[in-house]
Every structure is written in C-alpha cells, then in structure tokens.
C-alpha cells in the first residue's frame, strides 16, 4: 500500500510539473483558481462591510433618512471608534494596508517582482471594512484590488513561479477583485492591464481575462446580474450637445487634479501633526462625524447619493457644495490613516460635477440637451479618467456598471478631454503621485530613474589628481605624459578650486613648449568655466554633463573647495551594478520568500542558496570591507534590512551598506562553504 501511494504521489508531481512547464496552460489554470478566489473574496468583503455597518449604525446600508434619524453623538463618535480600531490594526500588522492600496500593488509589481505578504489579505480586508463600515468617506474598490492582488501573489508564491509569472498573477487578482465588485469583467481586465501592469502583453492578457470572467460568474451566480447603478435611459439628444460634454471633460479634469492635490496635502498635514500616530485616525474620524451632522451623504461609499444624481433628484446647489465636502472628507479619511479606496469617491465627485453642469445646461437648452442625470453619468467616467490617467478603463467601467451604451460617444469624448487636461496640469496620476513622493518613477526611462536616485557622493573619488596653481608649464606637461588622466584640477591654498586643465587644452599649445616654459604656470591655464558638481547633485546631472561636454571627469565642489571628483567610468559601473541589483531584487524576491520558509534552496551540483542573520563580526562593516567572496567563498545576493519600529526592512545590496543587528543575508555558494558560514 505505501508503495502504491508513493507511485500515485510521484505521478501527480510529474503531471503537475508538466502542466507547470506548459506556460500557457499553467497560467490559465492558476488564473481560473485566482478568479474563483477573487470572486468569493469580493463578495465576502462586501458582506463584511455591511455587517460592520449593521453593528455600528443599526442599518445594513447608509440610507440617508436612517442616518439623519440617528443621535448626534452616534454620528460623531462612530467614525472615531472606527479610527481607534483601524490604527493599531494597520500600524502593528501591515502598514501597507494604510491608504487606498493601489500604489502599493503597483510598487510591488514594478520593484519587488509581484511579491505581496499573505497577511495583507486579512489585514486590508478588516481595516478597510471597519473604515467604510463606520462611516469613513472612502470606497471599497481600492481595497479589493489590493486584497485580490495579495491573494494572486500568495497563490503564485505557493507554486513558486518566476517573477514575470508572479506579476501576471498579481494582475489576475486585481482583475478578479474589480470584476467581482462592479460586476464588470471587461473593466476588471482593462484596469489590471492599464493601471496595475501598465502593459497589454499577450502573455498577460489570457490569464487576466480568465480571472476577471470567472470572478464575474461567481458574483452573478450568487447575487444576480445587476449593474452597480440604476440609470434611466439617456441618449445623445443632438450633435450640438457634444460641446457641453466637452466642457464637462474640462471641468472633470480640474476636479480630478484638485482631488489628487488636496488628498496628498491632507496626508502631509496629518503627518506633521505632533500627536501619536495611532491617534490620527481617531481625529480624522471625529472630523468626518462632525461633517456628517450636516452632510450625511459623505459617509461610506456614497452610492445612494450617486443614484440620486443619476436620477436627477438633487438640486444644483447641493451637488456643488457636496463636490467640495466629499473631496475634503475623503482626503481627511485617507490622510489621517484610514484604509479605503479613491475609486468610489471619484465616481461620487464625477456624478455631482456632471449633475451640476447638466442642470444648468438643461435649464437653458431643454430641447437640445439630455437631463442632468446623463451628465452625471458621463461625469463619473470623466473624473475617474482624470484621477487615474486611465481613460479606456473609465469608459468601459461606466458602460458596464450602467448597462447603457447610447451615450458612449459623449462619455468617450469627456474621458479623453479630462485625461488630456489632467496630464497637462499634473504629470502623475493619483496612484503614481504617491510613488513619486517616495522617489519611485515607474514610467521614467530606467537610466534616468537609476541615476536620479543616486547622489554624487555614491560615486565620488575623494583623492583626485590635483595640480598646484604655481606648477610650471614644463612640470605640467611631464605630469600629463606620465598620467592616464584627461582632466587635471588646479587648486591653491590646499583645496581651494581654481579651475581645470584638460588634455585637449594642452594639445593646442604643446608645440610651443620651449618658449612657454618660463612664461606660464598652471594657474594661467586653469579654466574657471569648466562644469562642476556639488555633493547634493545626482548622477543623472553628471551623465548629462559628460555627454554634453565630452569629458571624462568632473570636479565636486563644496563652498569653492575641491572635495573630490566623479569619473565617467565609475558612474557607468555604478549604473550597471544598480541595474543588476534591480534585476536581482525582482528575480530573487520569489526565491527570498521561499527561503524565508525553508531557510535554504538546493541549486544543484553542490550549490545552495541560504538565509542567515548577519553574523556578529559582519555588524558595522560593508561587503567591500569584508570581501566575503574571497574570505568565505560565497556570494551575498541580497541583504534584507532589519525591521525598525515595526516597519518591514527593505532589500539592499550595495557594497557600501553597513550591516546592522537583525539584517538578513541571502547567500549562495557551495554547500560546505555556506554551512561553515552559517555555523
């Protein structure tokens, strides 16, 4: 019997490996699995929010009449209690669960090979459900993208897929989450491809579409095929109506950019408050509760208010006021540390902006324009397009959520115009702006991004070849002949910079050497206009100067003192090392996760990869100083920094990083050599 079980197990493993080796079939099967899980997760998340609403307010949804009937102290203190619960949950267990979540997914795809911690599925779901259920003015779409992506990443890590496959599976999870939440399979796939992955590769397309479709089938089977919003039948009344829709696109672009700017200013304001971090979500909740006393429309996702705008049941002045109130409330909720998305608030702002404009247009041109509800619907897509810089996703998601195609031409025009204006006013979207503030430029050329993040000090030579300004011309020529340098820096009084002499400059006068020997010293030939750098500059500027001036070395000055130089060859070497480090960080993230669970991986032919905490004699030293390869016969692939104040450490591998207690090394080498180092 044991022999039979062993044979069955072996056969199953072999078949699994065959399927896994067939890239397309394997990814389709795993995409289907993620779609199933994503659909159930989306439904579970929705019911969890409703359960918390029921506990907090005694109602299964934020019905405006029911909320208005609540005592004032309930409206003020329930959001604060939500903040009291969310603060410790996020700060103690998963800080990446703070905020709207999509930028964190984009960062993991771009920089960490799609690796997302499994615990994020539960932490983000609970934190966002509490925030939304207790009245936080945020949406459920951003959280479900992050939750679905974390689920997709966990599945990929379980199967130990490559970094490229893992990124695709993260996209599958995001698509499944959006599709399950909005009952919109096409929009889910497009959002994942356009926003999360940023590309439409054929290898990614099939599994992502499968995940999106399967998730939609799950939700439709359990709750029915109903659009997210009920919209009366609107259509384009006349060709002249395209003009006010174009104006709506411009207005939506301004609203979208304003939303992004105010959101991050709110984050900065709360960050600067001299109060404990855990108390900031409580303060934000108190402010939200106070606003809800007058405007209960801002509580939760706000779908009822959107439905009222689509049905044309709101006055123009209330819609105008609510645009500013909702924008402020969402910024406070997220800025104070709440967990929730910006997608539903963007729909809210778009519906009210469009409804306000449509009210005025229809009032003055009743026979040539549709009612305010049509403009509200188009405005929803236009503001989403402006905030996310993803017009295609915005167009499709509004079409799928409303089930109305008659007004698609107006929707397309408004979305494109709003996106063009938004990108003109602000280069980054509401998602990529958060990454830019962290120094991450996802869509910059790799060369510019790598060099811009590196200061001049990372490639500086502290002892460049210098020449005293009193050096005679004869001695200067002899120095040039004996030195491989192309540039010589002239100094006086120790290190005070006078100028630079280049070999090209000397070539012009070398034939007149005999009579110049007694007339010229180095100070006479020093070029004071020669370009220079400061320690605070970055290497991107250095590379531009190297290219423009056709030179090999630049002086580094600090208060007119020569503190060193930067050589073109050194900068190029650093660039190559940084690109290699990024490739390793991306490619080995899956391996690192596996190593964290098993402590070692057999690479074959006697080689292993293992994880160990930095030995005591490594602390305070750099890899360059330790010369690990020569002294121990192993290669340090990556260094994972120790946790600090509960925050996960980053992945580093520069030779000049000084190791600290708690740092973890990922090393590779022959088994016996690795074993000696571990022991």
Please indicate whether the domains covering 16-223 and 239-436 agree at the CATH topology level.
yes
- For residue 452, list its beta bridge partners: none
Distance CA 466, CA 214 (A): 69
Q: What is the pLDDT at residue 507?
A: 67
Task: Note the CATH architecture for domain 239-436.
Answer: Orthogonal Bundle (1.10)
Sort residue 296 into left (φ over 0), alpha (ψ -120 to 50) or beta: alpha
Q: What is the pLDDT at residue 601?
A: 60
Q: What is the pLDDT at residue 249?
A: 94
SS3 category, 459: coil
Q: Lowest mean pLDDT: which of 368-377, 446-455, 490-499?
A: 446-455
User: What radius of gyration do the chain's Cα atoms show?
Assistant: 30
Q: Is the pLDDT of residue 1 over 60?
A: no
User: 453 or 423: whose pLDDT is higher?
Assistant: 423
User: What are the structure tokens assigned to 296, written together?
Assistant: 């209960």
User: 342 or 98: whose pLDDT is higher?
Assistant: 342
**What fold, for 16-223?**
Clc chloride channel (1.10.3080)
**Distances 463 to 489, 499, 527 between C-alpha atoms, Å:** 11, 16, 20
Residue-wise pLDDT tens digits, 545-589: 877 777 888 888 887 888 888 888 777 777 766 665 555 554 444
Residue-wise pLDDT tens digits, 237-263: 777 888 999 999 999 999 999 999 999
Sign, Cα dihedral of 542, 547, 549, 550: positive
Q: Lowest mean pLDDT: which of 76-80, 482-486, 532-536?
A: 482-486
The distance of Cα 126 from the centroid of its chain, to the nearest Å, equals 22
Is the Cβ–Cβ distance between 240 and 410 less than 8 Å?
no
Q: What percent of the chain has pLDDT over 70?
A: 82
Q: What is the pLDDT at residue 228?
A: 67
Q: Is the pLDDT of residue 21 over 70?
A: no
Distance CA 61, CA 47 (A): 11
- For residue 638, list its beta bridge partners: 666
Q: Lowest mean pLDDT: which of 355-359, 531-535, 654-658?
A: 654-658
| Confidence tier at 621 by pLDDT (50, 70, 90) | confident
Q: Lowest mean pLDDT: which of 103-117, 163-177, 239-253?
A: 103-117
Residue-wise pLDDT tens digits, 39-50: 898 888 888 988
Query: What's the average model confidence in pLDDT over 295-301?
Result: 86
pTM assigned to the model: 0.68
Q: Lowest mean pLDDT: which of 133-147, 289-303, 617-631?
A: 617-631
Q: What is the mean pLDDT of the chain?
A: 79
DSSP string, 400-433: HHH---TTHHHHHHHHHHHHHHHHHH-SS-TTHH
Task: Label each residue of 310-365 as H, E or C.
Answer: HCCCCCHHHHHHHHHHHHHHHHHHHHCCCECECHHHHHHHHHHHHHHHHHHHHHHC
- In the chain, where are the structural domains located? 16-223, 239-436, 452-572, 588-678
Distance CA 222, CA 39 (A): 10
Task: Note the CATH architecture for domain 452-572.
Answer: Roll (3.10)
Residue-wise pLDDT tens digits, 586-614: 444 444 444 444 455 655 566 777 777 77
Query: What's the average model confidence in pLDDT over 481-500?
Result: 79
Task: Note the CATH architecture for domain 588-678.
Answer: 2-Layer Sandwich (3.30)
Residue-wise pLDDT tens digits, 351-399: 999 999 988 888 888 878 788 888 998 999 999 999 988 888 888 888 8
């Amino acid at each position: 019997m044991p022999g039979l079980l062993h044979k069955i197990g072996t056969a199953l493993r072999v078949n699994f490996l065959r399927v896994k080796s067939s890239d397309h079939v394997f990814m389709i099967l795993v995409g289907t699995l993620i779609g199933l899980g994503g659909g159930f997760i989306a439904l579970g998340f929705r019911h969890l929010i409703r359960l918390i609403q029921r506990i907090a307010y005694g109602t299964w949804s934020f019905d405006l009449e029911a909320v208005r009937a609540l005592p004032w102290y309930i409206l003020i203190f329930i959001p604060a209690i939500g903040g009291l619960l969310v603060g410790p949950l996020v700060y103690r267990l998963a800080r990446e669960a703070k905020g709207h979540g999509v930028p964190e997914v984009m960062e993991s795809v771009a920089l960490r090979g799609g690796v997302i911690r499994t615990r994020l599925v539960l932490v983000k779901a609970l934190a966002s459900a509490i925030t939304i259920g207790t009245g936080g003015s945020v949406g459920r779409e951003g959280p479900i993208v992050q939750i679905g992506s974390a689920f997709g990443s966990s599945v990929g890590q379980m199967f130990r897929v490559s970094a490229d496959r893992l990124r695709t599976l993260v996209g599958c999870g995001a698509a499944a989450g959006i599709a399950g939440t909005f009952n919109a399979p096409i929009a889910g796939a497009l959002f994942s491809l356009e926003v999360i992955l940023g590309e439409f590769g054929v290898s990614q397309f099939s599994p992502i579409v499968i995940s999106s479709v399967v998730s939609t089938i799950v939700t439709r089977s359990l709750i029915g095929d109903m659009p997210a919003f009920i919209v009366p039948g609107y259509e384009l009344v006349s060709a002249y109506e395209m003009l006010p829709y174009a104006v709506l696109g411009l207005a939506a672009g301004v609203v979208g950019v304003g939303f992004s700017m105010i959101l991050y200013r709110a984050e900065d304001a709360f960050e600067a408050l001299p109060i404990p971090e855990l108390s900031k979500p409580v303060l934000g909740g108190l402010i939200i509760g106070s606003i809800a006393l007058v405007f209960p429309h801002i509580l939760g996702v706000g779908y009822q208010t959107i439905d009222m705008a689509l049905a044309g049941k709101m006055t123009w002045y209330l819609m105008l006021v609510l645009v500013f109130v909702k924008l402020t409330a969402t910024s406070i909720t997220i800025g104070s540390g709440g967990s929730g998305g910006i997608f539903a608030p963007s729909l809210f702002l778009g519906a009210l902006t469009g409804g306000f404009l449509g009210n005025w247009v229809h009032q003055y041109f009743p026979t040539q324009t549709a009612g305010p509800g049509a403009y509200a619907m188009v405005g929803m897509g236009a503001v989403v397009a402006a905030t996310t810089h993803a017009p295609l996703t915005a167009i499709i998601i509004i079409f799928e959520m409303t089930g109305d195609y008659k007004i698609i031409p107006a929707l397309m025009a408004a979305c494109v115009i709003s996106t063009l204006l938004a990108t003109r006013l602000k280069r980054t979207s509401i998602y990529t702006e958060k990454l830019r503030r962290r120094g991450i430029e996802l869509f910059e050329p790799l060369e510019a991004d790598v060099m811009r993040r590196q200061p001049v000090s990372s490639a500086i030579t502290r002892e460049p070849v210098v020449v005293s300004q009193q050096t005679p011309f004869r001695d200067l020529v002899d120095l040039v002949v004996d030195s491989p340098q192309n540039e010589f820096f002239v100094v006086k009084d120790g290190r005070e910079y006078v100028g630079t002499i280049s070999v090209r400059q000397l070539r012009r006068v070398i034939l007149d050497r005999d009579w110049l020997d007694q007339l010229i010293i180095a100070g006479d030939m020093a070029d004071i206009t020669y370009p220079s750098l400061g320690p605070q500059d970055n290497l991107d500027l250095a590379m531009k100067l190297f290219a423009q001036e056709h030179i090999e070395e630049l002086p580094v000055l600090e208060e007119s003192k020569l503190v060193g130089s930067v050589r073109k060859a050194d900068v190029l070497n650093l660039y190559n090392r940084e690109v290699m480090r990024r490739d390793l960080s991306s490619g080995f993230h899956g391996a690192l996760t596996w190593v964290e669970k098993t402590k070692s991986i057999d690479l074959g032919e006697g080689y292993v990869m293992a994880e160990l905490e930095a030995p005591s004699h490594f602390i305070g030293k750099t890899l360059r100083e330790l010369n690990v390869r020569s002294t121990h016969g192993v290669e340090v692939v990556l260094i994972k920094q120790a946790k600090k104040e509960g925050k996960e450490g980053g992945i580093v591998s520069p030779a000049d990083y000084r190791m600290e207690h708690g740092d973890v090394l990922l090393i590779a080498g022959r088994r016996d050599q690795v074993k000696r180092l571990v022991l």
